[in-house]
Amino acid sequence: MDKQNWTEKTVEMLRPFETDNLLNTIQTITIKEVFSNPILLTITCILLYFGVIRRSKAVLLTMFALLGIIMIIRFAMPASPTAGAVETSLDALIPFIVGGVVIGGVIIYFTFIKSE
């Protein structure tokens, strides 16, 4: 019984990290909400410290990729009034394709082509 109870608590704790919830958060979050959340600010400051001050190329490229993916999701998949309704036309796929190529190209360039 204890194992079942622990499993249910774990499932409830991880429920905010489901794909639908994450996409909804990314699509509807504002800059004001980001800057008012102390956890996100702390994580951002730590990443900026390691990326800029310590000059870690891997951290900077990871931050660029994550921010690029978030921007693609926000602009290519705007929040729809009905939950789960996602448009899958060619017009909706073009921003994903172009954004993915740009993000991949920048990461490949700075990782493999440009050396310090």
Q: Residues 47-103: pLDDT tens digits?
A: 778 878 888 788 888 888 888 887 887 777 766 655 555 556 777 778 888 888 888
pLDDT at 81: 56
Give the mean pLDDT of 2-12.
84
Q: Report the number of distinct structural domains present in the chain.
A: 1
Residue 64 structural domain: 2-113
pLDDT band at 1 (very low <50, low <70, confident <90, very high): low
3-state secondary structure of 37: coil
| Residues 96, 86 contacting (CB under 8 angstroms) | no
| E strand segments, 1-116 | none
Q: Tell me, rounded to whole angstroms, the distance of Cα 97 from its chain centroid.
A: 17
